[in-house]
Structure 1
Amino acid sequence: MVKTSTFQQAIETVEKLSLEEQQMLIDTIQKRLHQQRRAVLSQEITEIRQEVTEGKVKFGSVGDFLEELDQP
């Protein structure tokens, strides 16, 4: 007996839906993915702002960055 993956089972289930239902599913998944990406970006922005507030972020030119890399 061949064991199918969860992903393959999901594909087979989706293929059983009507075209309209498949399109609705795609739209729903895309919206949820966008929401998740926005949430991740929002969290990253919050963390970066906190690091700036705490003085953990330095600003400067590429030359400044390279100079700092050369320091022991």
Structure 2
Amino acid sequence: MSNPVSFQTVIEYVDALSPEDLDLLFELIRKKRIEQRRQEIASNAAETLAALAAGQAKRGTIADLRADLLVDNENSCLGW
């Protein structure tokens, strides 16, 4: 978008829409947010796989995670 508009202007435009156009706008925004979230998830997955490949991440069960968190918490309480 070459000329950004203020949020207030957008609200005024939305208020002027017909109910049908408003429904279409809501659907377009919903789909855009879904696609953005998919891209965020894919990016996070790629970062996680890269960290695993580089040996910078651990794999394990929930029990393993809890044990690691408890050890980290105990160490931080001891000033380590």
- Give yes or no for TM over 0.5: yes
- What's the TM-score once normalised by structure 1's chain length? 0.78
The Cα shift of 1:61 comes to 4.2
Task: Note closer, same or farther for the CA distance 1:7–1:49 as it changes in structure 2 (3 Å cut).
Answer: same
Deviation, 1:58, is: 2.2
Question: Which ranges in structure 2 are unaligned for 5 or more consecutive residues?
Answer: none
User: Percent same amino acid among aligned pairs?
Assistant: 28
Instruction: Give the letter for the 2:46 counterpart.
Output: T
Q: Secondary structure of 2:57's match? A: coil
Runs of 5+ consecutive residues of structure 1 not aligned to the other structure: none
For residue 17 of structure 2, what is the aligned residue in structure 1?
A: 17
TM-score (norm 2): 0.71
Q: Which runs of 4+ in 1 moved over 6 A?
A: none
Distance 2:29 2:69 in 1: 41
Q: Deviations over 1:20-48 (max 9, x none)?
A: 00110110011001000100110000100
Aligned CA-pair RMSD: 2.1
The letter of the residue matching 2:33 is L
How many pairs does the alignment contain? 68
